[in-house]
Chains A and B, each alone.
Chain A
Amino acid sequence: MLDLYRPGTSPLHSLSPGPKILVMMAAGTALFLVESLPLVLGALLLTLALYRLAGLTLGDALVQLRPLAPIFVIFLALQYWLSGPVLAAFVVLRLAALILLASLVTLTTRASDMIDTITRALALLRPLGVNPAKVGLAISLALRFIPVLGQITTDVREAQKTRGLERSVIATALPVAIRTLKMADDIADAIEARGYDPRA
């Protein structure tokens, strides 16, 4: 889910992550402030053109949106019913443009480069008692934990299914929580065993 980086040599790949993130944030905010269907459509087409520039295909772009297909259908239907076809198209196209734009940054930036950039930016906050290295560690760990949590949940659900407990939220949530906390303790021990000094 998060290691989506596609190696390449396009201008988008060679752009450093800082400006890329800033441009994406500005564009994403702008998309939320404009309320015009043609502008959102233009932004979507521009984003698709950028995919082309990055050496990615239309298929790659569609893959980014596929997990959200059911939500798109629900939004489209609800907005059509509530406020008519124009707003429905606007809401869904805006969502698509935002997701494609964010995914483009992810696709053309190594996660490690992204984290390095953030860590460097955080050095500015050092006078406030922020330790950039620790924040960097927390970010890398969080990104790594997300797929692991998904895997643990799948394991526990399968185990509970054999006991006929697949419908119980608690029977899944509690073992998942305990297993992940145990994992967190093991990881903390492993980090310290490798000589990581939290005071450094």
Chain B
Amino acid sequence: MDTRSIVYIALFAALTAALGLVPPISFAGLALPPITAQSLGVMLAGAIAGARRGGLAMLLFVALVAIGLPLLSGGRGGFGIFAGASGGFVVAWPICAAVIGWLVGRAETSPLRLAVAIAIGGILVMYAIGIPWMAVVAKLPLSKAVMIMLAYVPGDLVKVAIAVIVTRGIRRAYPAL
């Protein structure tokens, strides 16, 4: 792996951490995962850095959280996170970023294709891992967990839109990426 890739991996891990400083919208205490800007970092890592670098960036981020750095939004961190309701979503991040990177590809893509790719990786895949996890941790029936997560879809769609605009802007400013 070349030096530039290592720097990009570190950058997108740091970007996701920095997005955690945006105040989260938490509407049910620790019972439910808060709405945070951090999943935007996952989407950008996949769409901009690509499958391999984006996935590794998120793996690095999850590792930093696991060793106890308070990098998750709201200053959360440590191994305890994975025992919580939002643990599955965090664990899903490397996979989500890799899926987004793989779907987006390197070629010039239309905004719609980009949006669909980011939505599949950043919403569908994330929920597919996070919701069953939450159902187990919170002792909820799966259908109820799905219902709860519907509340997050509008916020996630806004994040997809931002990710599409930022990705296209960067591709224009940085064609070599």
Contacts and interface: CB of A to CB of B under 8 A. Distances in A.
Q: Is the interface of B mostly helix, strand, loop or mixed?
A: helix
A184 B147 CA distance: 41
B155 interface: no
B64 A181 contact: no
B14 to A, nearest CB: 3
Contact of B68 (A25, A32, A178, A196): A25
Contacts, number: 167
A156 B7 CA distance: 22
A75 interface: yes
Interface string B1-21: 111101111110111011001
B169 A142 contact: no
B78 interface: yes
A174 B166 contact: yes
A25 B177 CA distance: 38
Q: Is the interface of A mostly helix, strand, loop or mixed?
A: helix
Given A99-B75, A191-B7, A198 B1 contact: yes
Interface in A9-39: 21, 24-26, 28-29, 31-33
B29 to A, nearest CB: 5
Given A25-B78, A142-B14, A145-B11, A32 B2 contact: no
Interface in A99-126: 99, 101-103, 105-106, 114, 118
Contacts of A98: 76, 78, 80
A165 interface: no
